[in-house]
């Protein structure tokens, strides 16, 4: 050991120098939810009820002189209901942690502020994820069967188009059978510990009972995790987002996003309390290809634009797509001078598409569904907020003591949903080839 003051001798008295805040190591874009206009109608009470007309009266016709007048029919009318979903985020601090931090009040305030900002950003990011689906919490499907381990971490492969787009470290998830109907009784409340994008492999913590005790569904909370194999194409969902036996007629817990709104009754038999089978004009337009993928074409996009105009009389103003379809579209037009990137307010990237009725905005969100493109008139899809995003402080205080514990809880919440009052003006192209990222 040296006798002079080198780094080794001074290590115990040197101070660490910390950076300003934390650097996120993950995709944290929150585009789609922010882009929807906010409706001035709040879904309070039993929900916001709106009236719709399926057709005008057909009491018209040519007659001979002195002939009987047409039958005095009335147009066909109906009403729909938009109900809010209740989205939460939670923080917990212990009494000793608060007391220990009193020695450095500034550090405590900064730390608490970071936690509060983190949960705020997290809930907005999760709202953006929910905006892409049908309200039932789907995250991914496995491309290889696997057996969860109870004494060590285990790996699951998601090597398909959906991949790991919606998976994040720390997420708690439940596994369902490939139909999405039946919850596994031996592999629920599983927590992600690592996501490897290049291989589409996700590492889960050991499959124990640790998180089952706090499962929001009492039936699932009584299950016992084991090493039973999970078959290929099983569905991974956000923990607690479905009932043990799930049906599309259930009331979703999450926001009804683009997949549920741009649907023709295939995913949701009923939408906003209207059944598509009995009211076919309440279906959106879906241009699919029987699950066989095909390349995007300009003609296909023009077809989608025309579908909207023919079925509703409205014109498409916005087109939504993910990064993969942006590449496909850009490659179609790369030799063409009409291809002109622009920037919208807020910094959102857009391209433009000339559909014959003026230039249409193309909104890009990395969280949009792979292999799909959505076409909509301006302002038809809106967010209906009963309560804006904020802290749960109905009693006048943000921080509440947990009963029986020296612990203090904060929670953030928003009561909201995404909806539309005219669905036949919406068109989705699906079954498109999605380019690989790696």
Per-residue pLDDT, 124: 87
Per-residue pLDDT, 2: 52
User: Out of 9-18, 100-109, 133-142, 363-372, which region has the weakest mean confidence (pLDDT)?
Assistant: 9-18
Paired sense of beta strands 285-287 and 235-238, if any:
unpaired
Per-residue pLDDT, 339: 46
Instruction: Give the pLDDT confidence of 46-68 residue by residue, as tens digits.
Output: 788 888 776 666 777 787 887 77
> Rounded CA gap, 271 and 425, in Å?
15
| Single pTM value for the model | 0.83
CA angle 202, 208, 213 (to 5 degrees): 115
Per-residue pLDDT, 346: 42
| Domain extent listing, the chain | 28-51+75-82+249-394+416-438
Here the tokens at position 398 are 């943000």
pLDDT exceeds cutoff 70 at 11: no
User: Out of 68-82, 187-201, 209-223, 409-423, which region has the weakest mean confidence (pLDDT)?
Assistant: 68-82
Here the tokens at position 391 are 């802290």
């Amino acid at each position: 050991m040296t006798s002079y003051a080198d780094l080794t001798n001074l290590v115990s008295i040197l101070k660490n120098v910390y950076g300003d805040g934390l650097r996120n190591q993950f995709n944290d874009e929150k585009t789609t939810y922010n882009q929807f206009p906010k409706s001035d109608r709040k879904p309070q009470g039993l929900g916001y009820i709106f009236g719709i007309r399926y057709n005008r009266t057909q009491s018209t016709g040519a007659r001979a002189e002195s002939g009987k007048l047409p039958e005095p029919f009335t147009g066909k009318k109906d009403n729909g209901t938009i109900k809010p979903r209740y989205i939460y985020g939670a923080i917990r601090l212990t009494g000793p942690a608060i007391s220990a931090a009193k020695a450095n009040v500034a550090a405590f305030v900064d730390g608490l502020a970071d936690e509060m900002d983190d949960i705020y950003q997290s809930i907005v990011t999760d709202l953006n994820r929910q905006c892409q689906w049908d309200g039932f919490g789907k995250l991914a499907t496995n491309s290889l069967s696997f057996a969860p381990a109870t004494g060590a971490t285990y790996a699951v492969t998601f090597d398909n188009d959906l991949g790991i787009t919606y998976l994040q470290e720390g997420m708690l998830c439940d596994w369902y059978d490939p139909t999405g109907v039946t919850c596994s009784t031996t592999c629920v409340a599983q927590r992600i510990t690592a996501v490897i994008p290049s291989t589409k492999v996700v590492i889960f913590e050991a499959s124990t009972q640790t998180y089952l005790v706090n499962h929001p569904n009492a039936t699932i909370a009584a299950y016992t995790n084991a090493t039973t194999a999970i078959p290929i194409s099983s569905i991974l969902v956000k923990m607690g987002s479905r009932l043990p036996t799930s049906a599309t007629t259930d009331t979703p817990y999450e926001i009804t996003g683009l997949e549920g709104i741009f649907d023709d009754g295939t995913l949701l038999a009923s939408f906003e309390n209207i059944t598509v089978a009995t009211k076919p004009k309440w279906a959106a337009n879906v241009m699919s290809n029987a699950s066989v993928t095909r390349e995007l074409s300009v003609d296909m996009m023009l077809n989608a634009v025309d579908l909207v105009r023919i079925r509703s009389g409205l014109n498409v103003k916005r087109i939504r797509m993910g990064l993969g379809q942006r590449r496909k579209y850009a490659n179609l037009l790369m030799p063409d001078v009409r291809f002109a990137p622009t920037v919208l307010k807020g910094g959102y990237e857009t391209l433009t598409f000339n559909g014959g009725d003026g230039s249409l905005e193309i909104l890009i969100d990395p969280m949009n569904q792979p292999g799909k493109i959505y076409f909509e008139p301006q302002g038809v899809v809106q967010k209906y907020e009963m309560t804006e995003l904020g802290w749960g402080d109905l009693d006048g205080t943000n921080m509440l003591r947990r009963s029986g514990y020296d612990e203090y809880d904060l929670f953030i919440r928003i009561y909201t949903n995404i909806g539309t009052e005219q669905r036949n003006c919406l068109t989705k192209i699906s079954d498109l080839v999605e380019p690989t990222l790696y």
